[in-house]
Amino acid sequence: MERREVGVGLVGYKFMGRAHSNAYRQVARFFEVDPAPRMTAICGRDEAGVREAADSLGWESYETDYHRLVRRDDVGLVDVVTPGNTHREIVLAALEAGKHVICEKPLANNLAEAREMVLAARDAGTVNMVCFNYRRAPAVQLAKRLLEEGRLGEVRHWRATYLQDFIMDPSFPLIWRLKKEVSGSGALGDIGAHIIDLAQFLVGPIAEVVGMTETFIRERPLEEASAGGGLSASGGTQTGEVTVDDAAAFLARFEGGAMGTFEATRFAAGRRNQNSFEVNGSKGSLAFDLERMNELEVFFTEDEPDVQGFRTVNVTEPDHPYAGAWWPPGHILGYEHTFVHTIKDLMDGIKAGVSPAPTFEDGYRCQAVLEAVEKSAESREWIKPEYGGV
Ligand SMILES: NC(=O)c1ccc[n+]([C@@H]2O[C@H](COP(=O)([O-])OP(=O)(O)OC[C@H]3O[C@@H](n4cnc5c(N)ncnc54)[C@H](O)[C@@H]3O)[C@@H](O)[C@H]2O)c1
C-alpha cells in the first residue's frame, strides 16, 4: 500500500533549518511513519540564499514570504526555525491557514505571546509541538522510564547545567541572540529553556524559583562592523549594547517536593555544549551529559553493598527507546538523531490527530518558568510561575 505524505513548509534555513531538513530526509528511511514528510517548500527572505538552501538541503521548492508558504495547498505542516521574535506571527498565520505546526524553542519571547499561541492552536484543532529535541535522546527516554517505574524512589534532587562558551571573546559580534527584542532573553531562554523542559518532563512541574542573571560583556561590535571593519564617527569600531543575560542561575522547588538547581551560561570556558543533569532519589541516582549522549549513568541503593557504585549504561540496545531503528548495539547515535526522533513522533501525532509532547502547552509552561526567573532576578524574591490563563 502506498504511504501517505504530508507536505512540509520550513521557515528558516540556517542552523536549525539544516538540522530539521536532515530529520525530514532521514525519518522515513529508518522509521515506519504514515504519513511520511514530503519536503515541499523552504522559506527565507533572501531569494538567492533560500534557493541555494532548497538545493543543498533537498527541498522541492522555495518561497520568500512565509504568508505565501502557509497558504499553499500542498503544505500540511509548517515548521518554524526562525528567531524567537518571529515565532508568534508565523505560527498564528500557519494555524489560521489550518496547518499542523512545529515550532522551535523557546515557544515565544514572552508569556503573553506564548498564551496567544496556545489558544490559537486550541482553536485550530491541528497538531502542534515544540522542538525540545533533547527529550528524544534515547538515554533521556530511558531516564524517564526509570523514573516512571519508581526505580529511583522519591526524587529529592534535580541538578542541571547547560554550559557553552561561544561568546566569551569580547570581539564576538552582537548577533541576534544578544538582542532582547529578537531573542527574548539570552542564555536563560536559549539553553536554560532546554533544562527547564527536561526538568518538567522528568521530575514534574516547578512550583517556585529564585534566580539571578548576569551580563559580563555589555557592549559588542555590530555584526556589520565586525565583518566589514566599519568605523564609528570617533574612529573606533561601531558597537551596540547587549540587552540579554550572558548567564543565569536559579534554585527551584518542584511541586512534588524535590529541590532543583539550574545554571545556563555562555561563559564556561572549554564547555562547548555541555547539557547535563543528575537526579537523586531515595533508591538511587541517574546522570546524563549530552557530550556523552549515548550513555546514562545509574546508581541503585538496592545493589549489594560490595558492588555498589555508578555504572554506565550504553543506551544503544534494540529495546532502548528509538535505538532499535538504527544500528546494532554499541553503534552510537548523535545530536541529529534527536531531531529525527522528534519528527518521527510528530508524524505519529499527525496520524493519530494528537499533539505529541512537548506540546504548545508544555512550551507555555517552560515560558512561565523563564518569566518567573527573570522576575525573580529583578526583585530578588521567590516567584511562582504563572501557569494559569490557558
Ligand atoms: N532545539 C535546539 O537544540 C535549538 C538549537 C539552536 C537554535 N534553536 C532555536 O531555533 C530557532 C532558530 O535558531 P537558529 O540557531 O537556527 O538561528 P539561525 O540564525 O542559524 O537561523 C535563523 C533563520 O531564520 C531566518 N529568518 C529570520 N527572520 C525571518 C523571517 N522574518 N522570515 C523568514 N525567515 C527568517 C534567517 O534568515 C535564518 O535562516 C530559535 O528559536 C532558536 O532558539 C533550537
Residue 147 and residue 256 in one domain = yes
**Index of the ligand 1 atom closest to the CA of residue 189:** 43
| Residue type at 178 in one-letter notation | L
Contact 31, 62 (CB under 8 A): no
Over range 148-174, report the average pLDDT: 98
Over range 366-375, report the average pLDDT: 98
Q: What is the CATH number of the domain that holds 24?
A: 3.40.50.720
Q: Which one of 13, 15, 78 would you pick to mutate in the ligand 1 pocket, going by the greatest count of ligand atoms within 8 A of its CB?
A: 15
Question: Which residue, among 29, 36, 42, 30, has the nearest Cα to 1 in the 3D structure?
Answer: 36
What the block records as the C-alpha cell of 77 is 505542516
Q: Is 258 strand, coil or helix?
A: coil
Question: What are 299's strand-pairing partners?
Answer: 285
pLDDT digits (tens, 9 = 90+) for 303-337: 999 999 999 999 999 999 999 999 999 999 999 99
Position 233 pLDDT exceeds 60: no
Q: Is 27 strand, coil or helix?
A: helix
Please give the residue range of the domain that contains residue 50: 5-134
Position 231 pLDDT exceeds 60: no
Residue 175 and residue 222 in one domain = yes
Instruction: With respect to residue 390, please indicate whether it lies within any of the assigned structural domains.
Output: no
Number of domains in the chain: 2
Residue 114 and residue 144 in one domain = no
| Residue type at 52 in one-letter notation | E
Check residue 230 and give its pLDDT. 44
Instruction: With respect to residue 377, please indicate whether it lies within any of the assigned structural domains.
Output: no
DSSP 170-226: TTS---GGG-HHHHSSSHIIIIIHHHHHHHHHHT--EEEEEEEEE-S--EEE-HHHH
C-alpha 163 – ligand 1 centre gap (Å):
20
Position 234 pLDDT exceeds 60: no
Domain boundary among 134, 166, 181: 134
Residue 20 and residue 82 in one domain = yes
Residues with CB under 6 A from ligand 1: 11-17, 43-45, 66, 81-84, 86, 104-105, 131, 133, 190
Q: What is the CATH number of the domain that holds 274?
A: 3.30.360.10
Residue 217 and residue 307 in one domain = yes
How many whole angstroms separate alpha carbon 193 and alpha carbon 3?
36
Residue 123 and residue 55 in one domain = yes
List the residue whose alpha carbon is closest to atom 33 of ligand 1.
Answer: 44
* Grid cell 538567492 in the structure block, residue: 48
Domain boundary among 78, 102, 134: 134
- Per the prediction, the chain carries an average pLDDT of 96
Residue 164 and residue 306 in one domain = yes
Q: Is 67 strand, coil or helix?
A: helix
What the block records as the C-alpha cell of 192 is 536554560
The gap between the terminal CA atoms of the chain, to the nearest Å, is 41
Burial class (CB in 10 A: 0-12, 13-18, 19+), 61: middle
Cβ–Cβ contacts within 10 Å for residue 86, how many? 16
Residue 151 and residue 128 in one domain = no
Q: Residue 232: which pLDDT band, with cuts at 50, 70 and 90?
A: very low
Instruction: With respect to residue 389, please indicate whether it lies within any of the assigned structural domains.
Output: no
Instruction: With respect to residue 347, please indicate whether it lies within any of the assigned structural domains.
Output: no
Position 279 pLDDT exceeds 50: yes
pLDDT digits (tens, 9 = 90+) for 60-111: 999 999 999 999 999 999 999 999 999 999 999 999 999 999 999 999 999 9
Cross-sheet strand order for the sheet of 128-131: 61-63, 36-43, 5-11, 77-80, 100-104, 128-131
Question: What's the chain's length in residues?
Answer: 390
